[in-house]
Amino acid sequence: MLNEIVPGKEESNVLKKAAEHFIKKLNSELKNAKAIVGGSVAKDTFLKGDYDIDIFVQFEKEKYKNKDISEILHTKLKLVFKSTSKITGLHKIHGSRDYFQIRQDPFTFEAIPILKIRKTGDAENITDISPLHTEFVKKYQHLADEIRLAKAFCKANKLYGAESYIRGFSGYTLEILIIAHNSFENLMKAASRWKPGIRIDVKAHGVEKLNKSKLSPIIVIDPVQPDRNTAAALSEKKFDEFVKLARDFLHNPSPEFFKQKKFDLERIKSASILRIIPLKGKEDIVGAKLIKCMEYIHRKLKEEGYEVIEHDWHWDDKEAYFWYFVKNKNLPQEKKHYGPPVKENKHLEEFRKKYSHYKIKNDGFRVYVELKRMHTNVNHFLKELVEKDMYIREKVREIKIL
């Protein structure tokens, strides 16, 4: 399996030379700042075929702590790359501190402005600490391929990424988990027994300094920043999926666990499927809107009376799909519309007045009336919902049922 995920010597050299060339050009224009390679390229934990390169631009803290280092870097990048024909775009990405994406086929560089610090307490922004993360992981270079296995495993199973629309494992969290367990196989064995609340603390910092608002199903204490849980973004759903996959892998180890599955509409053809053209914008923000939209539609289906067995989504660069497997695709013509509890006399009277032309019934606890559904078929209901609901229309560019 390693030969499919570990870059060869030639590929590694090409990637590192591209990073060196980028850094050399940028540093020629920088004063009191220095560009360095960061992320998985610096740690040598990047996957075969992954041409994303993080470049951290360190500004001297004393000189720049009260200045807009994002705008300073933006000016320098425009100056350096204005005449480079291979550059297909310099894009500003908005965040807690703006950074920049530069495409130079086949590479994608992310230039991230940071303040140069020596200890975590000096950081003005979480990204300032990134070089310290790199220093820590590089001490465990002998585990690089084990880290690659963990990353490939999570990417193949949609568990990779701490973005709000994914809520999975960050690359740094996986690096810490491998360092804690010393191999991918050991991580699988441990994860197969995990229960919510498990704690990973490779430097034995303890939880005293931990930010209690950042708890999650697994607590991974940052070795270089003890008050931080690197797995704070991980959802219960992703945690449960990881534990189950670990058990499945141990039961039947297979290369298939590391291979990304091609999205296949045919596989979900029995579901109700929506095709979406997302809004343009920052990936994390667009993705978050898609997730909110999918879950909103899920709630509407349940409110209407449909029993949703499973729902999920897929998103690539241009379009997304939501799908809902429902137990009952056709509902009765009439539905129960519930009012207040029978003991709430004031609200009960208001409900009676509103539905004076209907027979008021009660189930022993709450009153209700039987109303006619406009649509009894799930696809007809979805079609009208996505065409008329403004909450949905504001979250996407286009949406239609297939």
> Over the stretch 378-396, which tens digit does the pLDDT of each residue have?
999 999 999 999 999 999 9
- According to the model, what pLDDT value does residue 83 have? 55
- According to the model, what pLDDT value does residue 84 have? 54
CATH superfamily of 140-261: CCA tRNA nucleotidyltransferase, domain 2 (1.10.1410.30)
Q: How confident is the model at residue 85 (pLDDT cuts 50, 70, 90)?
A: very low
- According to the model, what pLDDT value does residue 280 have? 87
- According to the model, what pLDDT value does residue 86 have? 53
Identify the CA nearest to 5 among candidates 317, 259, 189. Answer: 259
Provide CATH 3.30.460.10 ranges for the chain.
1-116
Q: How confident is the model at residue 261 (pLDDT cuts 50, 70, 90)?
A: confident
Q: Is the pLDDT of residue 88 over 60?
A: no
Taking only the tens place, the pLDDT of each residue in 350-376 is 888 888 888 888 877 788 888 888 888
- CATH dotted code for 1-116: 3.30.460.10
* Pairing status of strand 33-38 against strand 52-60: antiparallel
- CATH dotted code for 265-330+375-401: 3.30.70.590
Provide CATH 1.10.1410.30 ranges for the chain.
140-261
Phi/psi for 58 (5° steps) reads -90, 120
User: Whole-number mean pLDDT of the chain?
Assistant: 89
| Residue keyed to tokens 């997730």 | 291
Higher pLDDT, 369 or 217: 217
Average pLDDT over residues 218-245: 93
